[in-house]
Amino acid sequence: MTPPFADELNLRLCHRCKYACSLDRDRHRCSRCNALLHRRKPDAIARTWALLLAAFVFYVPANVLPILRTTALQHDSTTTILGSVVDLWQDGAWDIAVIIFVASVVVPVAKFLILAFLLVTVQRRSRGSCRERTQLYRGLELIGYWSMLDVFVVGLLAALVQFGVLGDIEPRLGILFFGLVVVLTMMATLTFDSRLIWDAVKDER
Amino acid sequence: MSDDDVNKTEQSPPPAEPEVRERRWHLPLVWIVPLVAVIVGLSMMVRAWQQSGPVIEITFETAEGLKPNQTPVQYRNVVIGNVTGVSLGEARQQVVATVELSKEADAFTREDTRFWVVRPRIGATGISGLGTLFSGDFIAADPGNSSGHAERFEGLESPPPITYGEPGKRFQLQAEDLGSLTIGSPVYYRSVQVGQVVSYQLDKQGNGVNVEVFVSEPHDRFVSGNTRFWNTSGLDLDLGVDGVQVHMQSLVSLVTGGIAFGTPLVNSLDTMGAEEDSRFRLFDDRGTALAPEKGEPERIRMRFAQSLRGLEEGAPVDFQGKNIGEVSRITLDYDESDQTFPVVVDAIMYPKLMGRAYDKFQQSQQSQESQNNGPKPSQSAIRELFETLVGRGLRAEARTANLLTGKLFIALEFYPDADKTNIRRHAQTMVIPTRTTSLDRIQAQLTTLVDRISKIPIESISANLDGSLRDIRQTLTQMNDDVLPASLATLEGIDKLTLAMGEALGSAAEALGEDSPQREQLQQALTEVERMSRSVRSLSDYFRRHPEALIRGRQERQNRDDLRP
């Protein structure tokens, strides 16, 4: 026997202050912070899809375009994300290679896949393993900003390595797209409403 | 966002109307985000496609220094493309570098465009490409002039010494041996570098090497049809009859070889610049290159009865001090009649090197021929000349050219006192009679001198001398014993006499002393005499002027003026 839903108790959660408003008192605004009340996040699925797709589109140039330009003693080289991973691996720094690979490839791809999976299951009103899907979503929220690691690394390097003729590191367009990917996936995660996962259960009831 | 426009009244009683108003058709604004993303992505793709230039493939021997996406293609240090891939060729004999050129680098797809990898290398013209030590290797390009375009190119293994469009001329040199020349070896004119070796290849028959040199503008006009090229490779240490001569063009040519050219002053009528791709002979050294034209060679042979140590093949043959040929072969012969080993020296002589003498002789010969109505070949004319010369005492002689090195040379000199001989002829060679070297003759004279000295009877001479000395000693002892005492007594007598004389002289000196009365009297007497003579003189003067005074006596004041001088 599952516990009752908020709807059934005529309650609605304020998105801003998380106050459980009683619809009996005020149907539109939070009685505590006066924010508009929604049953679910508005247009959650469409917005998440949109942001996810945008992130996916940006993920292509983020990987194709170089993220860094290293100038060391006139030796010019540009690095893409995957290229740097391969280089680091070949240079023997496999630990750093793994970190960068996880942060910049595994995590974003995982986010795409998980979000897409959640969206699809919600739209199909699947009822199975709701708990696990919710856990997936929580995990998604948790790891989201770790993808910014790359952006931070590039930013730090570009700021620190400015030795003129001896060596110079400049960020390249790729990192901008990568940052956009991270931001967009995080936004997509935020716009997704995890309660939608359970709605199918309610409908069944 | 669709339900933003709810009523704005606060705490108003809830309307009884529907809970949420929804538009029937609505496109969430959020879809703008992926739309923008797609537009951005598409625009980037379009831009990349617009910027992408031709893709070409260049084959190299090795992919050393070529890294995909890192190795640029440069022209005058401007990046015009990038290596996008490096792979093995079909037969694994080569590597193929795929190069993406930028859009404006269209000229670099011309058929005769050349590509090469710039690496640090120590080349003919010094060290090049040092910058690539830090920047990494890159592919350099030299756009061609051809109208056709290609997609596959053969990369050069070394940078081309001359890039297209450089003004100047190419010349073909034929050398017997390449020496230490390489591509890029410098070409000098008066020790100024004016060009370099562009390429070389063996003759088709393998008889020589064809060297192609490039002389840049404006120095190419110094190459005329008369110009001689010679090899200045390395250090030219010439231990000839003139002593040690060291020729060196520059340190670069010491390492990489080099070519120099010059134009001999004589007969320099052809001073116009030579045509492109003109053919020249590459001489081995400056001396042979700038030597005047030799003309027809003439073989001569000489038989020497002496050792010719120091005579080498190539030693000069002098005629009256002028070099007119060189020794070509030295062999040993055996003379059965007197069982000796004469040295046979073959030499090549260039009569033309005799210069004006030869010309004059030929002219006289020609005039003779015109009289005889029978033209003779010039070779027999030369022989005739030498016949007459030998008849007048021309002899060959091996002389020391350099006492330090002991080198010999052959001198043709006149010895009018020499025995009369005739020139002998051997098929193609003239046999010129020889004479023993003056030095050898001195040697012989010295030997006879030493012989004579050794014949002198030194022992008997010394015995005689000994006896004479003994006699002398005897005579001396006699003198000591007898003659000396007598002479002593004589000397004593002389001593006494001297004393007496000294006394006499002392009294005489006393008489003539400074304050002696005798001296004073003498002085007075002398003064008297002086006065007397003066008056006598005036008297005589008076009488000369007035001879009548002898009769009339002296007349006062009559002619006073006469007395004035």
* B436-455: pLDDT as tens digits: 766 677 777 888 888 888 88
Greatest Cα-to-Cα distance within chain B, rounded to the nearest angstrom:
209
User: The complex's ipTM?
Assistant: 0.75
Examine the pLDDT at B205 and tell me if it is beyond 80.
yes
Strand B279-283 vs strand B228-231: parallel, antiparallel, or unpaired?
parallel
Using the Cβ of B243 and the Cβ atoms of chain A, whether some distance falls under 8 Å is answered with: no
Q: What is the pLDDT of residue B16?
A: 58
Q: What is the pLDDT of residue B379?
A: 59
Using the Cβ of B36 and the Cβ atoms of chain A, whether some distance falls under 8 Å is answered with: yes
B178 close to B200: Cβ distance less than 8 angstroms? yes
Q: What is the pLDDT of residue B234?
A: 62
Q: How confident is the model at residue B4 (pLDDT cuts 50, 70, 90)?
A: very low
Q: What is the dihedral of CA A5, A9, A10, A13, to 10 degrees?
A: -50
State which residue of chain B sits closest to A173, comparing Cα positions. B44
So where are chain A's domains? Answer: 1-39, 43-204
For A61, the closest of B14, B41, B69 (CB atoms) is B41
Using the Cβ of A34 and the Cβ atoms of chain B, whether some distance falls under 8 Å is answered with: yes
Q: What is the pLDDT of residue B7?
A: 46
Examine the pLDDT at B372 and tell me if it is beyond 70.
no
pLDDT tens readout for residues B398-415: 888 777 777 888 888 888
pLDDT (mean) for B507-511: 75
Reported CATH class of domain A43-204: mainly alpha
Examine the pLDDT at B340 and tell me if it is beyond 70.
yes
Are residues B30 and A74, on separate chains, in Cβ contact within 8 Å?
no
pLDDT tens readout for residues B69-97: 778 888 888 888 888 888 888 878 888 88
State which residue of chain B sits closest to A43, comparing Cα positions. B28
Are residues A47 and B19, on separate chains, in Cβ contact within 8 Å?
no
Selected residue with higher pLDDT from B2 and A3: A3
User: How distant is the Cα of B177 from the closest Cα of chain A, in angstroms?
Assistant: 43
Are residues B14 and A27, on separate chains, in Cβ contact within 8 Å?
yes
Examine the pLDDT at B501 and tell me if it is beyond 80.
yes
Using the Cβ of B131 and the Cβ atoms of chain A, whether some distance falls under 8 Å is answered with: yes
Cβ-proximal residues to A149 (8 Å cutoff; 6+ apart), any chain: A99, A100, A103, A104
Of A51, A44, A183, which Cα lies nearest the Cα of B31? A51
DSSP state of A1: -
- What three-state secondary structure class fits B267? coil
pLDDT tens readout for residues B228-271: 888 876 666 666 666 777 766 666 666 667 888 888 765 555 55
Percent of chain B with pLDDT over 90: 2
Query: What is the 3 state secondary structure string of B152-205?
Result: EEEEECCCCCCCCCCCEEEEEEEECCCCCCCCCCEEEECCEEEEEEEEEEECCC
* Mean pLDDT, rounded, of chain B: 78
Lookup: tokens for A123 = 């739209």
Selected residue with higher pLDDT from B484 and A90: A90
Are residues B134 and A73, on separate chains, in Cβ contact within 8 Å?
yes
pLDDT tens readout for residues B147-157: 888 888 888 87
Strand A75-79 vs strand A167-171: parallel, antiparallel, or unpaired?
unpaired
For A51, the closest of B6, B33, B38 (CB atoms) is B33
Using the Cβ of A53 and the Cβ atoms of chain B, whether some distance falls under 8 Å is answered with: yes
Are residues B30 and A50, on separate chains, in Cβ contact within 8 Å?
yes
Using the Cβ of A167 and the Cβ atoms of chain B, whether some distance falls under 8 Å is answered with: no
Q: What is the pLDDT of residue B1?
A: 43
Q: What is the pLDDT of residue B26?
A: 66
Contacts of B40 in chain A (CB under 8 A): 57-58, 61
**Burial track A27-62 (b if 16+ CB lie within 10 A, e otherwise):** ebbbeeeeeebbeebbbbbbbbbbbbbbbbbbbebb
Q: What is the pLDDT of residue B5?
A: 47
Whole-number Å distance between alpha carbons of B444 and B63: 77
Using the Cβ of A25 and the Cβ atoms of chain B, whether some distance falls under 8 Å is answered with: no
User: How distant is the Cα of B162 from the closest Cα of chain A, in angstroms?
Assistant: 26
Q: How confident is the model at residue B383 (pLDDT cuts 50, 70, 90)?
A: confident
pLDDT tens readout for residues A20-53: 888 777 778 888 888 888 888 878 888 888 889 9
Interface contacts A/B by beta carbons within 8 Å? 66
DSSP state of B331: E
Residues of chain A short of pLDDT 70, as ranges, are 1-2, 73-76, 204-205
Q: What is the pLDDT of residue B15?
A: 56
Q: What is the pLDDT of residue A194?
A: 83
